[in-house]
Amino acid sequence: MAHQKLAIFMKWVDTPEQEQAVQRVLEQAEKAGVETAILPIQGELEKVSLRDMLQDAQNQMSLDPVTRMEHRINALSAEEKKELAMTRRILDENLLTYHFQPIVSAVTGEVFGYEALMRPSCEDCTLNPYQILKYA
């Protein structure tokens, strides 16, 4: 079977639900052995031609993964780059604290599981767990 590739063109992701939907597509593609690339759409969405988008996809997908990741990072907004830098710091310096909260049966009062929670443990870390996982 020929090697398959999938390009996802995105202007923005506004909500956690949209982010999760994109992640599901990427996970399914990975399971199927399909190479993926998320390509930011530059400029006004209605002014971008399909031909330009496909050419950009072909150019991006011919790059090695490291170069492609550099392109993704360069496409981030200034705020997203700050979040990425803080995420790197949190992970590199192991600044996460984990808590395990018991899940208790309302009927019997018995503990039947635990919910794992993570929080950054530095005072100047302003990211929530969702933001950390977005970049991890």
Mean pLDDT, residues 28-35 taken together: 74
pLDDT at residue 89, rounded to an integer: 92
Is 71 within 8 Å of 63 (Cβ atoms)? yes
pLDDT over 70 at 60, yes or no: no
pLDDT at residue 133, rounded to an integer: 84
Which residue blocks in 1-136 are alpha helix, DSSP H? 16-31, 50-61, 65-74, 78-92, 129-135
118 vs 59: which has the higher pLDDT: 118
117-126 per-position pLDDT tens digit:
888 888 888 8
Model confidence, pTM: 0.48
Across the chain, what does the average pLDDT equal?
A: 76
Write the single-letter amino acid at 24. Answer: R
Domains in the chain: boundaries: 1-75, 85-136
What is d(CA 39, CA 11) in angstroms, rounded to the nearest whole number? 9
pLDDT at residue 46, rounded to an integer: 53
Right CATH for 1-75 from 3.40.50, 3.40.1350, 2.30.30, 2.60.40: 3.40.50
**What 8-state DSSP symbol labels residue 56?**
H
pLDDT at residue 43, rounded to an integer: 53
